[in-house]
Structure 1
Amino acid sequence: MEQIIEYQAHITLPENFVLIQKDEYKALKGLGFKGNCVSVEDFRKKHTCLSRPMFNELILLNPKFKKMLDIKENPNGCVAYPKGGSSGKYYILESKLLTFIEENFPEIFTYVGKNEV
């Protein structure tokens, strides 16, 4: 025979707290990067464990991805490459590059074990 005990409790949250559903929290958290334009260094340090040369090799200058990322090649891209070659300043739309890395992670990191990260 199953026994059931019901218990009711009241919990008071501090005024600076709010209770929301997990899905809503994740959606709001994702908006935190939306529209942020950052430098390569800021993005790389904040979101990857890659050195600058590996970040360039695996993502920014990788021929498989460059046309997808470059806003001159793709209106839905997320990287403004330097005008005068690789020595200029890059501009990255943070949210879009994060999404790109998440969606292409296996392809980006297929040969990392062969190279130093």
Structure 2
Amino acid sequence: MQQPQTVELNILWQVPSDSIIIKKSEYEELVSASLAGETWTMKDLERKTKKKAIWLRKNVLDVPEFREILDVDNGGCTFYPETGTGERWAFQASKMSQFLDEHFPDIYTRSE
């Protein structure tokens, strides 16, 4: 029977001059900071998620346990317009992005 062997490899790889290497946590902080102060419309949210407004409402925005978290009236990141007022949806981009990341499994395991 052969004994397993351990091999150590040193691979030289040069980072292209137009690139940098940073820790994943630092990258995530940069992405979050890039959304700071940005507000999304429903059209922006559709573009970001590649889902239509009707799907987003049915599977995220109008789901009671998600609305409890998202609604600005509860300290969340989503302005829910009142029907018939002409108001428009508004989303705090950084926090909505974080919500979607954190709840991705919940959203997609319950979606129709």
When normalised by structure 1's length, the TM-score is 0.68
State the SS of the aligned residue for 1:109. helix
Give the distance between the partners of 2:93 and 2:101, measured in 1 at CA.
12
Structure 1 unmatched runs, 5+: 1-10
How many residues end up aligned between the 2 structures? 99
State the SS of the aligned residue for 2:44. helix
Q: Runs in 1 of length 4+ with deviation above 4 angstroms?
A: 17-20
| 1:66 matched residue in structure 2 | 67
State the SS of the aligned residue for 2:60. helix
Give percent identity, aligned residues only.
27
* Deviation of the 1:25 alpha carbon: 3.8
Letter in 1 for 2:30: L
* Deviation of the 1:64 alpha carbon: 1.7
Structure 2 unmatched runs, 5+: 1-14
| 2:83 matched residue in structure 1 | 85
When normalised by structure 2's length, the TM-score is 0.71
Letter in 2 for 1:60: L
Letter in 2 for 1:30: S
C-alpha root-mean-square deviation of aligned residues, in Å? 2.7
| 2:50 matched residue in structure 1 | 49
* Deviation of the 1:29 alpha carbon: 2.6
